[in-house]
């Protein structure tokens, strides 16, 4: 019997030690009209650990009945809990929720009033004054370190740096912090976070460039529309056959000089492809000023049938609607046995013809062509030492989209005479 009493006493002692201390809340509750409150208080809580290290596990609640305003309830202190905890209190009367508030209960042996533990309140249906605890979360904000993974997640995100500014494009700087891009409103932002003029400096290509110069079997110097960069990128084609640098031609800046054995002959087509340093590859390369397509001297004929004494081959894509092409020539007549005739052919169309007598020694002329959406409108002027000033106007339906050949042709009345081209120039004016 003694041993049994000893075991019971020990169990009671352990139970007494294990139970957490309680704080007492005792008060008389009134309504606004002075009548005493009758109803219930539903007090709920989340899991927390009091200061004595006992564990209040899981979420729970208790219902306290208030009769004639009298309230008395004992709760585990929450202000000394780790972390600090709170109680959600809902006042109900006549089957309806009347009021909600949050309590923070301190550890004390003295009896507490409701106003000693109330930290926020709101009428039923209102969210004003109700903390996060009303949804089951503690009313007091949790430290970031208590939320699993929160610190790591925040650390993985860039933060505002000293150069962060509102109203600007944001970039991640070299330190992994957010910074504002500086520049003009019209600037573009580059992938490295810098700003500048839209577009970029890079290598551009010129394909199918027509070499300018008179193809007469004598002239060896021809011009490109731009300077190859690097010079070794230049590929020159004569009648579609690739020419070999140093063996067939040399290049200096934008001038291509053919070696004697590879001198282009009348009727040859000369094209080139190469790289250039362009300011902005997003824009099509254009020629902003007059462009000499062909220029040369020296061709002559003593044929009594029309013979080419000047040829200019214009590649596909060079001429555009709205362009103007000026063809100018100067001829000299040697001997005076007979007269002679001169023509300019625009593709297959004869846009100019003039006859001169045997006494004429010098003739100059000009043909202008306005490039239309299809074909061209032409006009011409000619004069000489004794030849009167003459003009013509007309049209040419020849398509220029696929390329066009302009030829200066002449014949003499007697084989003892000859005509020499002192100059033949074709200029494109965009």
List pLDDT tens digits, range 198-229: 654 455 788 888 898 888 899 999 999 888 98
Domain assignment present for residue 160? The answer is: no
Counted domains in the chain: 3
Q: What is the pLDDT of residues 386-398, one digit of tens each?
A: 999 999 999 999 9
Query: Between these two residues, 307 and 290, which has the higher pLDDT value?
Result: 307
- Tell me what pLDDT residue 325 has: 94
- Tell me what pLDDT residue 386 has: 93
Query: Between these two residues, 273 and 166, which has the higher pLDDT value?
Result: 273
Domain assignment present for residue 169? The answer is: no
Cis peptide before 386 (omega within 30 of 0): no
**pTM above the 0.75 mark?**
no
User: Do 240 and 230 fall into the same domain?
Assistant: yes
User: Do 332 and 426 fall into the same domain?
Assistant: yes
Residue 430: pLDDT band with limits 50, 70, 90: confident
User: Do 250 and 117 fall into the same domain?
Assistant: no
In angstroms, the Cα distances linking 263 to 231, 274, 299, 312, 354 are 21, 21, 14, 15, 31
Average pLDDT over residues 310-333: 90
Question: Where a domain ends, among 251, 285, 319?
Answer: 285
User: Do 37 and 122 fall into the same domain?
Assistant: yes
User: Do 90 and 49 fall into the same domain?
Assistant: yes
- Tell me what pLDDT residue 281 has: 41
- Domain with 279, as residue range(s), is 198-285
User: Do 313 and 244 fall into the same domain?
Assistant: no
- Tell me what pLDDT residue 9 has: 53
- Tell me what pLDDT residue 73 has: 96
- Tell me what pLDDT residue 138 has: 41
User: Do 375 and 393 fall into the same domain?
Assistant: yes
Question: Alpha-carbon distance 122 to 62, whole Å?
Answer: 20
Residue 244: pLDDT band with limits 50, 70, 90: very high
Q: Note whether 222 and 254 are within 8 A (CB).
A: no
- Tell me what pLDDT residue 128 has: 42
- Tell me what pLDDT residue 133 has: 37
- Tell me what pLDDT residue 307 has: 92
Question: Where a domain ends, among 236, 253, 285?
Answer: 285
Average pLDDT over residues 290-306: 86
In angstroms, the Cα distances linking 375 to 151, 292, 378 are 74, 21, 10
Residue 271: pLDDT band with limits 50, 70, 90: very high
Positive or negative, the CA dihedral 122, 126, 131, 135 is positive
Residue 94: pLDDT band with limits 50, 70, 90: confident
- Tell me what pLDDT residue 96 has: 86
Domain assignment present for residue 2? The answer is: no
- Tell me what pLDDT residue 155 has: 75
Question: Which range is least confidently modeled, 73-87, 116-130, 277-291?
Answer: 277-291
Structure tokens at 215: 């193809």
Question: Where a domain ends, among 97, 125, 142?
Answer: 142
């Amino acid at each position: 019997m003694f041993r049994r009493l000893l075991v019971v006493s020990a169990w009671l002692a352990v139970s007494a030690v294990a139970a957490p201390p309680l704080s007492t809340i005792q008060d008389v509750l009134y309504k606004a009209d002075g009548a005493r409150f009758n109803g219930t208080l539903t007090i709920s809580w989340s899991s927390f650990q009091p200061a004595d290290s006992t564990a209040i596990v899981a979420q729970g609640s208790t219902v306290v009945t208030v009769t004639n305003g009298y309230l008395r309830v004992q709760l585990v202190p929450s202000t000394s809990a780790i972390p600090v905890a709170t109680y959600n209190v809902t006042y109900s009367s006549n089957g309806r929720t009347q009021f909600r508030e949050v309590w923070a209960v301190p550890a004390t042996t003295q009896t507490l009033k409701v106003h000693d533990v109330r930290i926020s309140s709101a009428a039923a249906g209102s969210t004003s004054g109700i903390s996060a605890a009303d949804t089951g979360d503690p009313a007091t904000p949790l430290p970031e370190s208590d939320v699993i993974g929160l610190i790591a997640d925040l650390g993985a995100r860039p933060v505002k740096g000293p150069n962060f500014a509102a109203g600007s494009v944001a970039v991640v700087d070299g330190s992994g912090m957010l910074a504002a891009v500086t520049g003009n409103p019209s600037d573009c932002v580059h992938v490295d976070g810098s700003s500048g003029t839209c577009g970029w400096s890079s290598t551009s290509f010129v394909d199918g460039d027509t070499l300018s110069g008179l193809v007469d079997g004598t002239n060896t110097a021809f011009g490109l529309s731009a300077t190859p960069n690097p010079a070794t990128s230049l590929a020159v084609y004569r009648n579609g056959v690739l020419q070999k640098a140093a063996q067939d031609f040399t290049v200096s800046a934008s001038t291509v000089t053919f070696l004697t054995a590879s001198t282009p002959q009348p009727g040859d087509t000369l094209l080139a492809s190469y790289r250039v340093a362009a300011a902005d590859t997003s824009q099509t390369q254009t020629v902003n000023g007059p462009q000499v397509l062909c220029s040369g001297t020296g061709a002559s004929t003593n044929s009594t049938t029309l013979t080419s004494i000047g040829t200019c081959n214009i590649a596909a894509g060079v001429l555009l609607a709205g362009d103007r092409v000026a063809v100018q020539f100067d001829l000299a007549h040697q001997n005076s046995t007979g007269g002679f005739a001169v023509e300019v052919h625009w593709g297959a169309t004869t846009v100019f013809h003039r006859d001169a007598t045997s006494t004429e020694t010098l003739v100059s002329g000009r043909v202008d062509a306005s490039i239309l959406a299809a074909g061209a409108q032409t006009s011409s002027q000619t004069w000489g030492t004794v030849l009167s000033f003459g003009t013509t106007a007309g049209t040419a339906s020849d398509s220029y989209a696929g390329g066009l050949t302009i030829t200066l042709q002449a014949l003499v009345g007697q084989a003892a005479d000859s005509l020499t081209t002192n100059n033949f120039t074709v200029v494109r004016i965009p």
